[in-house]
Structure 1
Amino acid sequence: MGIGDKISNAAEKAAGAAKETVGKATGDRETQAEGAAQKQKAEMKQAGEKTKDAAKDVRDGFTS
């Protein structure tokens, strides 16, 4: 995972968490749900990138 991807995913996760918190604080369930979904989407992207990195490490181990 490139540093740009890590920063982007972390920013998206933080934005989602903030939106979720605002939704909770204001009682706005729609905003809360949007924030939770955005945060989860960022976490899924991070997991996918980590999987790609692990596969690359395995591949590199066989070619070394």
Structure 2
Amino acid sequence: MARPQASIRVPKGQTSVMLAVDVSGSMAATDVQPTRIEAAIAAGRTLIDKLPSNAQVGLVIFNAQ
């Protein structure tokens, strides 16, 4: 299974980011410690911490239904 990866270069000026997070049951799997959902949350926080303070951030959650 591929692991999501990203290299992010944030330009100066206005930045808008939309995060999409899978919250289906498969995100409880422990192939990534502690769980996939916790790893996704941590990655999102890391990304947000690296954005300019005036960045606009949106969040979309989805599951299998």
Larger Rg: 1
Is the helix fraction higher in 1 or 2?
Answer: 1
| Greater relative contact order structure (CA < 8 Å, 6+ sep) | 2
Is the strand fraction higher in 1 or 2?
Answer: 2
TM-score normalised by structure 1 residue count: 0.39
TM-score normalised by structure 2 residue count: 0.39
